[in-house]
Every structure is written in C-alpha cells, then in structure tokens.
Amino acid sequence: MDALKRYFRSPAAVIGLILLLIVIAMAISAGWLYPRDPLSLAGRPLIWPFASPRFLLGTDNSGRDIAAQIFYGARISLLIGGVATAIAILIGILVGAFAGYYGGWVDNILMRITDAFQTLPNFVLLLVLVAVFGSTLTTVTIAVGIVSWPAPARLTRAEFLSLRNREFVQAGRTLGMRDVKIILGEILPNALPPVIVYASVVMAVAILLESALAFLRLSDPNVASWGNLIGLGRDVLRVQWYVSAIPGIAILATVLAVSLVGQGLNDALNPRLKSR
Amino acid sequence: MRILSLAGRRLAASIPTLFLILIGVFLLLQMAPGDTVDALMAQMGGGDAATARELRKFYGLDLSIPAQLANYLWHLVRLDLGFSSIYGKPVASVILERLPPTILLMTASLSFAFFFGLVFGVIAARGVNRWPDTLISTLGLIFYATPSFWFGLMAIVVFSVYLQWLPPGGFEDIGTVQTGIWRVLDIASHLVLPTLTLGLIFLAIYLRIMRASMLEVLNLDFVRTARAKGLDETHVVTRHVLRNALLPMVTLIGLQAGTMLGGSVVVESVFSLPGLGRLAYESVVQRDLNTLLGIVFVSALLVIVVNFVTDLLYARLDPRISADS
Amino acid sequence: MSDAILSLEHLSVRLPEGADRPYALSDVSLSIASNEILCVVGESGSGKSMMANAIMRLLPNEVRIEHGRMLFEDRDLCAADVAEMREVRGAGIAMIFQEPMTALNPLRTIGDQIGEMFSIHTELSNAEINARVLALLADVRIPDPKLAAKAYPHELSGGQRQRAMIAMALALDPKLLIADEPTTALDVTTQAQILKLIRDLQQRKQTAVLFITHDFGVVAEIADRVVVMQHGRIVEQGTAGEVLNQPTHPYTKQLIAAVPPLKAPPPRPLSSQNILTISNVSKTYRTGGFLGRGARITAAVRDASLELPKGATLGIVGESGSGKSTLARCIVRLIDPDTGSIVLNGKDWAKLSREEVRRETRHIQMVFQDPFASLNPRRKAAELVAQGPIVHGTPRATAIAEARKLFELVGLDPSAGDRYPHEFSGGQRQRIGLARALALKPEVLVADEPVSALDVSVQAQVLKLLADLRQRLGLSIIFITHDLRVAAQICDLVAVMKDGAVVEHGVAAEVFGNPQHPYTPALLDSIPGGEFAREHETVSM
C-alpha cells in the first residue's frame, strides 16, 4: 500500500503509467477502430498527415493507412515485448537462482554459458537466430527472449549470492527446510523485486531490438509493426520523411513509458534510494 | 605486473567462452535451411545436382557434422576462417577490409558517450533534484528510449537533406580522391552522424550510471572524513568522489561492448558504412553462413579485447583488485 | 568554566518531518576544557553522534540547528559561514570515526590522505609534508611508517587503520578531537591499545577530547568527565567518579546496572552426563590458487574438543577470526566439518548425511546474531516461529497456535504474531528468533552472539530471559560471544578460542580467576574499565 502511494507521488511515474495505458488502449481498440487489414491498400499513396480527413496520419508509399498501422503496431510491440520479456526473465531467474544458491561447479558452468551469451553481441546473435529459424512472429519473439536472458540471470544470481548467507536463510536450514523450499519460499520473494523492476529494462530493450530487426526487414513482414513501417519509409525519406517519423515517435513513447514505469516501481519499492 | 597477470588470467578464462560460442553457433548454423553451396548455386543462377555434389565435396560439406566442426576449428587455429563464396575471397580478408570503419565508429561513439555521460552525470548529481538534474535526467530517459536507426534517419533528414551540412552516408567521398589531412577530415565528417546515432543510447546509460554512482559515493563515510578535514566541495568531488564513482562506469564499458557492436549493425546499415555490422547484415540476407560464422568469431574476439582493456583500466584505478581474487 | 575550548549552549537540532521525534538534540549544554576527555554516553538513538556532526556542521541536509550557540575559540560555530567552518574543520576540530575501513578513501594511500591535511591548511612543501606524515605515523606507533604511508587502507589491519585515522586527525594539533565510537568496530585487545594511544597522545598534546561511546567500560577507562544522554537530552553530567559510582538520574542508574560485571556468578552444580561431545573438529578453507598452486589454506577451526554437560551453558569466547562462529556452524551442520566427531545423544552429527541432518535438526537449534538479518522480512512473526514445526509435519493451524504460546514464553504479546519483523525493536526480534528456535523443542541451543547487536539495557533483558528459559526448559546452551563480561554472566563453562584452536577451557570462575593460557589474561586485561567492570554492583540474574 505504501509502495503504491509512493508510486503515485512521483509525476514521472504517473506520466509513464498514463503513456503506457494509452499504448495498451491503442492495442486493444485497433480492431474496433480499424476493422480492415492494416496492410491492405486504403487510398492514394503518400498522403501527408492531416491532409485528408480519412487518413489522419496520412498514407505510406503503398497507400496503406499509417494510423491503422500505428494502432496495430502497438499490439505487435506489446506482444513481442511482453512475451520476450517473460521468456528472458523466466530463464534468467532459473539460471540465476541455481547458480547463486548452489555455487561451485553448478555456478561455474551456468556462468560460463551466460558469459558466452554476453560476449556475443546480442544483435549479432539475433541475426544468426533469424537466419537459421526464419522471421515469423513466433520465432522473432522467442529469439528476442533468448538473447535477453543473461542480464536478469546475473542480477538474480547476485541477489541469491547475497541472500543465501543471510541469517534468515541459515535459520531455514537449521529448521530442516529442503533446498527447494528455501529457494522458492525464503530467498526468491526477497530477490524478486529488483528483478521485476529490471523486467522493464528488458522489455524496453526487447521492443527496440524487434523494431531494429523489422527496420532491417528481417522481422515478420506480414504483420503491421512500427519497425517495418520505418524501414518502408526509408525509401521516401528525402521528401515524405513523415512515413518514418511517425512510427518512430510511437516506439519512443512506448519505450519511454515502460522505462518510466520501471523507474517509478523501483523508487516505490526502494524508498531509501528515492530520498537521496 | 600485478595488473598484467590479473588481466592475463581473465583473458585466458575467456578462451573457453570463445570456443563455447563458436561451437554453439556452428551447430546452430547447421540447422539453417540451405548451405553455402545452395547460396553459391543461387548466385550462379542454378546448376545441376552433380555440380552441387562436387562443390560440397570441395568445401568439405559432405562430411559428418562433428568432422566439419573439427575441420573448422583446426582451420581457425591457423587463423583461416574459410572461404566466402559470395565475395569470392577468404572470409578473413573480407572481414579485415570491413573492420576499420567499425572500430573507428565504436571508438568514437564510446568516447563521445563516456565523456558526455561523465560530465552530465556529475552535473546532475551535484544539483540533485534541482533543475539541471531534472533536465539532464529527462533528456537521458528520452535518449534511452530513442530507437537509434530512427534517430539516424531523422538526423539525415535534418542535417543532410535540409541543412546539407553533413553527408547522408558512406565512409568517405568516393567521387574525389583525397589524401592526408583532407581525407581524415572527409572521413570524420562522414562519421559525425553515425557516432551521434550509435552513441546516444550509451550516453543515456552512462549519464544515468554516473549520476547514481556519484550519489552513492557522496554518501560514503570517507566523504564525510574529507569534509571533516576542511576540504571544500569541489575538491571533495575531484579528489575523493570522482575516481570512486568512475569504477562502475569502467565496468560498464566492458559489459556494453557487445551491445555497442550489435548496435553498429543497425547504424552502419542506416548510413551505408562498409563496416563489420553491415557485413553481418548482408551475410544474413545473402545466406553467406561462412562469413556470418567468421563475424561471430571476430565480434566475440573484439568484445573480449575490450573487456581485457577495461580490466587493465579497472585494476589501475582500484588497488583493491589483487592478483588472487 | 574559564578555560573551556568548546561550549554548547542550549543547542537544539531539528529533525525532518516524519522522523521518530521532532528534535535530535534538545537544549543541550555542555563544555569541554583543554586537556580533558569528556565522554558522551548513550544508547543508540540518544543523539550522541548527531551532536558530533552538529559541532562539525556536517549534518545531513534535512537536519538543521534550530537554536543555541556553539562557542569555539570565541566564535559561534552556529553562525560561522562555509569558509570559516572549513578553516575550523581539521585544523581546529578534528574527528575520528567508528569504522576506519569506510572512513578512509579506498583508492588513495594512507600517506596521501594524511598529507592532505597539510595541503589543505598549510603551505608546506611536499618533502616537508612527507616527513611530517612519517613522524605522525611513528607517533601513533604504526610499525614501519614508511611502508604504512605507501599502503592502501585495505592493506592494513583494523587497528592500524584506526591508528592512521588518529594520525590524520592529530596532524595539525587540533584544539579539540571528536572521537565517535572509535573502538566499537575493533576487537577487545585492539580496543585496549587504541584507548591507551588516545589517552597518551591527549596527555602529551593537551588536546581536549569529546569521546562518544555506548560502553560504560570504555567510559571508566578513559573519561575525566561524563555526559549521559537519552532521547536527545542530557540527563546527567559530572566527573567520571561521580557518575560511575554515585549516579543520580534513574536512567544512568539503569544503564550502569545493566553493564555485565566481569565476575562469574557462583558456580551451579553441573550434570555429570554430557549431552554434546565435540572431539577433534577441524575445518579448513582453501581460497584462490589454480590447480592447487598458490592456494591459501586457512584453518578456521583446529582440532577443537569440548564437552557440554546436560543443562549447562558452555561459552565459547574469542576475538573475530578466532573460529568461534565457524565452530558453532559446524555444530549445527550449517558448515560440514572436515574431521572430528560431534556426538549428540549418542549419534555422531558430523557423519550424518544432509537428509539425516534435516530430520534430526529439531534436537539442536540456533539463535543468530543479527536481529534484523535473521528474520525473513516477508513473513509474519507467528509464521516465522511456526515454520519449523510445519516443516517437520505439524499441521499449520496447530503450529501457529503453539507459536502464539511461545510468544508468551519469550515475553512477547501473543497478538504481535500478525506483525512483520520490521515492526519490532531489535530486542523483540531477538525474542522472536529465540521463539523460533524453541518451537522445535530442542535439547541443545547454539546461540551465536545473540546479544552483541543490542543496546546494553536490552542485552541484560535478553540474557535474563535466556537464563530463565534454560532453567525452565532444561536447555543446554552453547553461547558464542566476543564479550567476556557477557560470558562471565551466563556461562557455567568457558572455552577460549584463538586462531581456530581452543586454548583453554573449564569452569567459568576458574578460567576468569586463574587463567592457565597466557592469552586468557591478555584478553581479560583488555576489557575496558577493568576495576569498574570487576567491582560495580549489578542487578542479579
């Protein structure tokens, strides 16, 4: 309750939440506001924004409604961002918890693998995964999740390392608890808040990664995604720059919203840091 | 000596990591639809099955996967990364040609991000919760949320199309042959926008970390000691806080090296820079898997080298890092 | 007082909104003369450290001086501007702190940091500064000053670091030295040396010292005059003799009564039957090294053999790093010993498998040191206490009901079970920890420094509870502590550990009265305020 109150006391966190709710509302209302396929031909190509009442944000080079693509794009970004983050955080917690709690050779092996993932530039690995498994919505989402897990794993491991020798965990052991119960019941609830907060960073990066991939035309071409639209607009950048500009602002706003919410959560959960 | 042996140990520890990456990616690429020969045949405009078999034999693709892997690693030890059928020359030389622009771009972006991140971080921390801090922190958040490729495109629209101050892409002006200082200036002018584009997000990260780290260190006991000595605030910061606050920044360089290299894929594509990143993109599009594997190797190597240098730097800054920890 | 170096007049320091009280200091008046040591004593939260920071004008931003004057050399420090304050700090008034490790910049050498005093306040050349630094380090009796000047803080021991801090503080011969709990973080033998050093230097240089402490032993050792503080107010002040021997204010009386005396109570009859027998237990740690080369081997516990008679309390005393905590953790098998046997009820604990330990663990339970870290912050108090029985198969409802009964046993309100740990005070948390250990009805209780983190008055209450429970439940206790006074009070038997080995053990009165190993008297002599500690009257347990 206190945390909630603290959250709403920060204007930045509230702005972030409002922005995020707007993006979510766009994703939900897309089908209802624009019942037609956003990738179908809608009118004359390259109408400037506000020039036609039918196309508030204009049309792109192949005559598709930009506004419709922005609304549907919100779905894709949130979907990929959300699912990929869930994958990354889940793997991260699993790896981090085992490595941090057991230490020794388990830790050694798991951290070597984490090292390997962190040494290889994540975008290059993403390219390799897409090259191998193709660029459907599903494969891209999973690929983004797979390249994003090492950081949450390290964070979870660090939390576990500092918590596992805390006296209340030792007390659990002297009471005769099993490892699983100690990991899940005693350590994890205490290790989770920073990891949850970090999920916002993972989600922001996931959205940026997917949009970059789409911009390079390596993501699913059959869905209306913001990155796809920016890539398309690049061909007419010199004059009709708005085709690229508008979806870019949508990405910026979404990533900003996610970051602000994450920071707000962090300050609300760690009040000590906020006062500094 | 202490520092060298420490960093050397870390370097040695990264060799298994490198092999892990290579083996992992090699096996991964076996699952890819089509191989080098398919790509080559497509390049040549088709061919019969006999030619394909011949070619596979020539490239050693008819062997079992473990044998191919052993083959690859054996060649690698002799710095032979294989042959790129698309470019028609050894992968090593293709990569070597493309390396300088990427290294130049990364160095420039890193310096830009580190320097301004440091300065802005210090300014923000000194005026915490006052307007300079609010302004800098807000800008930092916005920079962090900006997709780099989009920023690059918009920068091209503003600075190249409308203002016509800077070239929209390329590494140097190929129309006119230039030498000496003029060539340097020409390349520099081509690199301004890519550097800003790639550096922006890192600037945001560095300034945030520097700010947080400054605030953290300002709260430590020895800062109170320094004040109790009668030191003024400026000297408290320069003599006691700064070096301590720099430590997380240095760690971050190593951690972010991979991300930065990944970011250069996108930025080089936006500005048509003939670098390693663009090569990675091209090799995916053209299914030149040999080159892609070579790039994986070289970029991992680059990250390891950057981490080696950061280790050296860190150990120089922090006397507590000893050879046996 | 005519020769007062510093006098505080009606000083009030305001805390920010939302703090637990409106004023950190209210209406504090005191003065310190040259060549005297004034001890400010109080428990945590009494405002004694805040006073030190107020004098230096180094209060946190939200905290401000609301009222009063601080006269130092005819100047009111409350009215001094920033530049004036900078001149006073270091040169006029210097300060040393509790934790010398964090009070020194980890990235700069000791010599550099001491030399900075001169470069701030004087025009001396580098060569002169270097010479002065070496002389100062020699003054505080650091072995090999040249080496120490070049060392970084982490390369020195805790005691040496505090010596370096003292050298730094005294560099410019300040009129006043403020020492904020300078020996609290140190081992008892090191503490004795540092106290002696401060006393010697103070007498030689005629410095006035404002010495902040919570420990009446330290007061008895070093103070000329004493100020007792409670909740930001001065409740009593006077000469050391007066305050220690004829305290007038009830709070002072209570504090002094709570100080455990270094006198073993008359021995109780002990059972001839041993419940726990520890024989030849060893534990070594290997750190660093590659394939066995260059590895450092630390023997944490070396060949320790002890016996615990049924119903008795065995104290294991020693300084930090003596291996006492490792031994305690070996006994409950939080750490697996390398060799030796630990026989409890005829079963060798050292040989049990992890699974067997888990099943047998209800026979032996542990109470931990840190009342804040030892309770999971996300569970309610009753749940924490009920956890053990639940793990061992008691239905949840029964376990919770029993937990509430245990609350009464350890002196807590049974209705407090629905609260979270952070809503309790340190002493109450330690009672919860005790209830948790007792919930499994153990025969042996291993208590690892259970009262070290508590204020002295709370400490006495918890010790009393422990002694009481021992009687009522027939518990046998292993009591780990660094504080010989605490050990003297509660233990029937005492074992002294040094560098991992048990150097002496026996009946408490014997060990304290007629020590056999040379280390034991050294340890006893280091206890601050020796005479006072041995003689003063206390509440009987």
Interface contact C166, partner B, CB < 8 A? no
Interface contact B227, partner C, CB < 8 A? yes
**Percent of chain A whose predicted confidence (pLDDT) is above 90:** 50
Query: A163 to chain C: nearest residue by CA?
Result: C373
Weakest-pLDDT range from A31-35, B308-312, C38-42: A31-35
Report the alpha-carbon angle C123-C128-C132, nearest 5: 105
User: Which pLDDT tens digit goes with each residue over B103-143?
Assistant: 999 999 999 999 999 999 999 998 888 888 989 999 999 99
Cβ separation A176–C361 shorter than 8 A: yes
- pLDDT of res. C539: 44
User: Which pLDDT tens digit goes with each residue over C416-471?
Assistant: 888 888 888 888 999 999 999 999 999 999 999 988 888 888 888 888 899 888 88
Residue B206 has pLDDT above 90, yes or no: yes
Count how many pairs of residues, chain A against chain B, have C-beta atoms within 8 Å.
153
**A88 or C514: whose pLDDT is higher?**
A88
Residue-averaged pLDDT of chain B = 86
Residue B282 has pLDDT above 80, yes or no: yes
Cβ separation C116–B229 shorter than 8 A: yes
DSSP B232: -
Interface contact C363, partner A, CB < 8 A? no
Taking residues C260-286, report their average pLDDT.
85
Interface contact C104, partner B, CB < 8 A? yes
Cβ separation A245–B145 shorter than 8 A: no
Q: Which helix (H) or strand (E) holds A150?
A: helix A150-164
Weakest-pLDDT range from A66-70, B180-184, B218-222, C50-54: B180-184
CA C120 to chain A, closest CA, distance in angstroms equals: 29
Taking residues A223-252, report their average pLDDT.
88
Report the alpha-carbon distance of residue C341 to residue C282 in Å, rounded: 10
- Taking a C-beta distance cutoff of 8 angstroms, is the pair C284, C299 a contact? yes
Give the pair of three-digit tokens for residue C506: 């026996």
**Three-state SS for B90?**
strand
Cβ separation C89–B227 shorter than 8 A: yes
CA A81 to chain B, closest CA, distance in angstroms equals: 14
Taking residues C360-366, report their average pLDDT.
90
CA B30 to chain A, closest CA, distance in angstroms equals: 8
Taking residues A183-206, report their average pLDDT.
91
**Percent of chain B whose predicted confidence (pLDDT) is above 70:** 97
Report the alpha-carbon distance of residue B279 to residue C532 in Å, rounded: 81
Nearest to B258 among A121, A256, A260 (CB): A121
Interface contact A9, partner C, CB < 8 A? no
Interface contact C334, partner A, CB < 8 A? yes
- pLDDT of res. C448: 92
**Percent of chain C whose predicted confidence (pLDDT) is above 70:** 96
Residue A274 has pLDDT above 50, yes or no: no
Taking residues C80-91, report their average pLDDT.
90
CA A225 to chain C, closest CA, distance in angstroms equals: 42
**C269 or C226: whose pLDDT is higher?**
C226
Nearest to B231 among C120, C154, C294 (CB): C120
- pLDDT of res. C180: 92
Residue C538 has pLDDT above 60, yes or no: no
Nearest to A23 by CA among A207, A230, A266, A267: A207
Give the pair of three-digit tokens for residue A246: 């508008």
Nearest to C378 among A173, A177, A190 (CB): A190
Using only the alpha carbons of chain A, give its radius of gyration.
Answer: 22
Residue A275 has pLDDT above 70, yes or no: no
**pLDDT-based confidence at C177, cuts 50/70/90?**
very high
**Percent of chain C whose predicted confidence (pLDDT) is above 90:** 48
- pLDDT of res. B49: 79
**pLDDT-based confidence at A273, cuts 50/70/90?**
very low
Weakest-pLDDT range from B55-64, B250-259, C327-336: B55-64
3-state helix, strand, coil in chain C (%, to 5): 40, 25, 35
Residue A53 has pLDDT above 90, yes or no: no
Residue A14 has pLDDT above 80, yes or no: yes
Separation in Å, CA C245 to CA C177, C226, C531:
27, 12, 12
Residue A205 has pLDDT above 90, yes or no: yes
> Which of 134-153 (B) contact A at CB < 8 A?
141-142, 144-151, 153
User: Which pLDDT tens digit goes with each residue over C201-215?
Assistant: 999 989 999 999 988
Residue C1 has pLDDT above 60, yes or no: no
- pLDDT of res. C289: 46
Separation in Å, CA A87 to CA A20, A78, A83, A94, B197:
21, 14, 6, 11, 29
B297 contacts: CB under 8 Å, gap ≥ 6: B18, B21, B22, B76, B81
Cβ separation C391–A181 shorter than 8 A: yes
CA C5 to chain A, closest CA, distance in angstroms equals: 35
User: Which pLDDT tens digit goes with each residue over A94-126?
Assistant: 999 999 999 888 998 999 999 999 999 989 999
What are the helix and strand counts (H, E) for chain C? 21, 20
User: Which pLDDT tens digit goes with each residue over C393-412?
Assistant: 889 999 999 999 899 888 88
Q: Where are the alpha helices (DSSP H) in C94-223?
A: 100-103, 110-121, 126-139, 145-150, 158-169, 188-205, 216-222
Taking residues B223-245, report their average pLDDT.
92
**Backbone dihedral angles phi then psi of residue C246, each to the nearest 5 degrees:** -130, 65
Interface contact C152, partner B, CB < 8 A? yes
Cβ separation C86–B230 shorter than 8 A: yes
**pLDDT-based confidence at C537, cuts 50/70/90?**
low
**pLDDT-based confidence at A2, cuts 50/70/90?**
confident
**pLDDT-based confidence at C295, cuts 50/70/90?**
low
Taking residues C111-140, report their average pLDDT.
93
Cβ separation A170–C366 shorter than 8 A: yes
Enumerate the residues of chain A whose CB falls inside 8 A of the CB of residue C388. Answer: 175-176
Residue A276 has pLDDT above 60, yes or no: no
- pLDDT of res. B324: 45
Q: What is the ipTM of this complex?
A: 0.88
User: Which pLDDT tens digit goes with each residue over C242-258?
Assistant: 998 889 999 998 888 88
- pLDDT of res. B1: 62
Enumerate the residues of chain C whose CB falls inside 8 A of the CB of residue A172. Answer: 376, 387
CA C170 to chain B, closest CA, distance in angstroms equals: 11
**Percent of chain A whose predicted confidence (pLDDT) is above 70:** 97
Taking residues B68-96, report their average pLDDT.
85
Query: B242 to chain C: nearest residue by CA?
Result: C107
Residue-averaged pLDDT of chain C = 88
**pLDDT-based confidence at C290, cuts 50/70/90?**
very low
**B289 or C131: whose pLDDT is higher?**
C131
- pLDDT of res. A34: 82
Interface contact A217, partner C, CB < 8 A? no
